[in-house]
Amino acid sequence: MKPSHTVEFADRSPEPRRTKGGLKTMPFILVNVAFERLASQGLMPNMILYLTKVYHFETATASTILFIWAALSDGLALFGAFLADSYFGGFRVIALGSMSSLLGMVILWLTSMVPPLKPLPCDQLHNCSAPNGVRIVSLLSSFLLISVGAGCIRPCSIAFGAGQFDNKKNPNNERVIQSYFNWYYASATISTVVAMTVIVYIQDRLGWSVGFGIPAILMLSLL
């Protein structure tokens, strides 16, 4: 008679599902959005003056640089969304974008105050020397890093925040998500208006060093 063999199965309890942040995460998400817009949108309006008066670029050249910068900031959103969906997830991509934006803003701030990176002023005869390679590389690398940061943060933050409220068991789930989107866009819009008025005013009155330092501090606070 053959001995019977029994197979014992260990009790496998289902893995606990991760609880989502819910409403308590909303202030942090909205502050993240507001500070990112304050930091990035506050740089663009006066940048044409910085490129022409400080870096001595021709107006056409400065306009081309700003056009490419704006196009990269918007176009890299596809790259950031791809990384978040396919590889790293929204949280890691947002963190990567925040660090990239911070590094870019710090470099831009340094170009306004550190002599090796700051272009020489014009002389009394209004003869202006063109910036050398190190200064141009520093400026363009700061723009590139800020664009990468915007491309990682903007497409991922809104989806990451909505995921914190997606609870099918909650009968008010649809209303909560709709309220989140309303507050998200309100926060982004208000911070953009503040950036284009207050930050621009600070740059005009207190100089480029302070005007570029405040956005860098705002990005640092996100980390």
Q: Residue 32 maps to which CATH number? A: 1.20.1250.20
From 211, 217, 193, select the one nearest 50 (Cα to Cα): 211
In a domain, 3, yes or no: no
Q: What is the mean pLDDT of residues 166-186?
A: 80
Q: What's the predicted TM-score (pTM) here?
A: 0.82
In a domain, 12, yes or no: no
The confidence band for 15, taking pLDDT boundaries of 50, 70 and 90, is very low
- pLDDT tens, position by position, 35-65: 888 888 888 889 999 999 888 888 999 999 9
- pLDDT tens, position by position, 159-168: 888 877 766 6
Split into its structural domains, the chain has a count of: 1
In a domain, 13, yes or no: no
In a domain, 113, yes or no: yes
- pLDDT tens, position by position, 57-91: 889 999 999 999 999 998 999 999 999 989 998 88
In a domain, 67, yes or no: yes
What's the domain range around 79?
A: 24-120+129-222
In sequence order, what DSSP letters do the residues of 132-190 get, joined into one string? Answer: -HHHHHHHHHHHHHHHHHHHHHHHHHHHHHHHTS--TT-TTHHHHHHHHHHHHHHHHHH
